[in-house]
Amino acid sequence: MFQSGGGNVDAALEMGHMIRAAGLETAIGRTQLNGCPMLVPRCPQKMVRNGWSEGEVHSGGAYCFSACPWALAGGKVRAAAANARIAVHQITNGRKTPRMHNGRRSLDEISTVPDPALKQLLSDYFDEMGVNSADVFAMMGLATPQGLYNVWDAEALKSGIITKVYSYSEEPGYVIGGTNVADPADPTPAATPVPAVTTMPDELMHLLP
């Protein structure tokens, strides 16, 4: 079960290989400890030291960003609910913070320079995992150098990043709830979807050592 803002690309690929070798399934979800408020899912008073904390896996608010989808791709079955978020971005080179020229930010300072070796490494990995590399690179290219591209369910399924979208009460122990999902029994429409491109936190901008 993944909830991650991302990390190192090499580590994500290694983790994906380990997951595939073990024949495991992967999914996106977050932990909601029993007795904790919805907005504080891992409240300190319910955290057990030197033991197990009990809770449920929830889809609402769960996310898998940056290098996380590459590790997720290691699963033989890769699942997410409609209200779990997947986002990818370009791998940036150069300055982390752009220079200012005459009061304006220089986009040249934050432009991305494709690394052929890295692109081939990712392409080989995606092919091995059954993910369409052309689709993934196209989605990565839709992100700005400092932004994340939010991948929609249809895109994630088409590309193979996920192979299954959870529906209500389909999986025991996996609670489908939160924002961006409408209960089929409730005519109230789902919340407005997030925009396709959002700003990427600084700590995610440079993934390679």
| Cα 3 to chain centroid, rounded | 7
- The parent domain of residue 78 ranges over 9-201
User: Which token pair is 207?
Assistant: 């993934």
Could you read off the pLDDT of 43-58 as tens digits, one per residue?
999 999 888 888 888 8
Q: What is the pTM of this model?
A: 0.72
- Residue showing tokens 């899912």: 41
Could you tell me the CA-to-CA distances from 135 to 22, 33, 79, 160 in Å, in that order?
A: 26, 36, 18, 9
The Cα 125–Cα 13 span in angstroms is 7
For residues 135 and 123, the answer to whether their CB atoms sit within 8 Å is no
User: Which token pair is 73?
Assistant: 């791709």
The Cα 90–Cα 173 span in angstroms is 34
Domain total of the chain: 1
* Residues 162/167/172/177 CA torsion (nearest 10 deg): 100
Specify if 1 maps to a domain.
no
What local confidence, expressed as pLDDT, does residue 135 receive?
97
Break the chain down into helix, strand, coil percent, rounded to 5: 30, 20, 55
- Residue showing tokens 């109230």: 188
Specify if 4 maps to a domain.
no
User: Which token pair is 145?
Assistant: 């150098």
The beta-strand segments (E) located in 82-188 are 85-88, 100-101, 104-105, 147-151, 164-166, 174-175
Q: Please list the ranges in the chain whose pLDDT falls under 50.
A: 94-98, 105-111, 178-209
Specify if 38 maps to a domain.
yes
Specify if 67 maps to a domain.
yes
What local confidence, expressed as pLDDT, does residue 110 receive?
44
Specify if 159 maps to a domain.
yes
Q: What is the DSSP string of 45-100?
A: GGPPTTS---EEEE-TT-EEETTHHHHHTTSSSEEEETTSEEEE-PPP-S-SS--E
Specify if 172 maps to a domain.
yes
What local confidence, expressed as pLDDT, does residue 144 receive?
82
Specify if 115 maps to a domain.
yes
Specify if 193 maps to a domain.
yes
For residues 2 and 15, the answer to whether their CB atoms sit within 8 Å is no
The Cα 78–Cα 16 span in angstroms is 11
